[in-house]
């Protein structure tokens, strides 16, 4: 049986991952509205990955004989002004997710739940990758500018992103 404090923080993390999916979907809709199909695709793929992140936690809690507690998901922000500002919001958001993952690691260690401490390592690595990928896009937008022909090429680049399913068993 999983430690109750650890179970609680994992359930809170499920909520954050599903909120992330909502946020990326809101961004995907925004990019679609302004005609950036590649940006829209990229954020939609990310939304699917966020659902996977939530589901891995879900399956892990069940495997540890814990109780999954699905909490209310907040409405995502719709404060999107342009691609650069939106990607900066993504980076800010992912940094906050990284912080909450660190709290899961810290608590599981404090509670001597070494299985969860080990399990959460996958998320720590995933966050490094996510922040780096987002930063690459921001650098691209800042380096090349956002004139229409440039944006057109960046959009084509982002359209190439492929969805790779992650699950508890194949993460
Ligand atoms: Fe789940 O990594 Fe982003 O939020």
CB-ligand 1 contact for 97 (6 Å cutoff): yes
Q: Is residue 141 part of a domain?
A: yes
Domain span including residue 149? 4-71+80-166
Ligand 1 centroid–CA 35 distance in Å is: 25
User: For residue 119, what are its two tokens?
Assistant: 């399990």
Nearest CA residue ID for atom 3, ligand 1: 94
Ligand 1 centroid–CA 24 distance in Å is: 10
Rounded (5°) CA angle 26-30-32: 115
The pTM score is: 0.96
- Look-up of token digits 């993460």: 171
User: For residue 87, what are its two tokens?
Assistant: 């990607």
Q: Is residue 87 part of a domain?
A: yes
Domain count across the chain: 1
Ligand 1 centroid–CA 22 distance in Å is: 11
CB-ligand 1 contact for 17 (6 Å cutoff): yes
- Going through the chain in order, the beta strands assigned E by DSSP cover none
Cα within 13 Å of Cα(129), Cβ side? 8
**109 contacts 117 by C-beta, under 8 angstroms:** yes
CATH code of 138's domain: 1.20.1260.10
**123 contacts 166 by C-beta, under 8 angstroms:** no
* Phi, psi values for residue 85, rounded to 5°: -60, -35
Distance of CA 166 to the CA centre of its chain: 12
For every one of its 171 residues, what pLDDT tens digit does the chain have, with 9 covering 90 and above? 899 999 999 999 999 999 999 999 999 999 999 999 999 999 999 999 999 999 999 999 999 999 999 999 999 988 899 999 999 999 999 999 999 999 999 999 999 999 999 999 999 999 999 999 999 999 999 998 878 889 999 999 999 999 999 888 887
Alpha helices (H) along 66-120: 83-110, 114-119
Residues 6+ apart with CB under 8 A from 148: none
Q: Is residue 171 part of a domain?
A: no
Give the other-Cβ count within 10 Å of 22's Cβ. Answer: 17
């Amino acid at each position: 049986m999983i430690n109750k404090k650890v179970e609680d923080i994992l359930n809170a993390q499920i909520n954050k991952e599903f909120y992330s999916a909502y946020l990326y979907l809101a961004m995907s809709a925004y990019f679609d509205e302004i005609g950036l199909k590649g940006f829209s695709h990229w954020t939609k793929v990310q939304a699917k990955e966020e659902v996977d992140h939530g589901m891995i936690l879900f399956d892990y809690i069940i495997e540890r004989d814990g109780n999954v507690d699905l909490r209310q998901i907040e409405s995502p922000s719709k404060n999107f002004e342009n691609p650069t500002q939106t990607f900066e919001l993504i980076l800010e958001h992912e940094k906050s997710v990284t912080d909450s993952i660190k709290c899961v690691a810290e608590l599981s260690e404090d509670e001597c739940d070494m299985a969860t401490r080990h399990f959460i390592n996958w998320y720590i690595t995933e966050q490094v990758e996510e922040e780096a990928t987002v930063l690459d896009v921001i650098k691209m937008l800042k380096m090349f500018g956002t004139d229409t022909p440039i944006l057109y090429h960046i959009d084509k680049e982002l359209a190439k992103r492929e969805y790779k399913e992650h699950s508890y068993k194949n993460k």
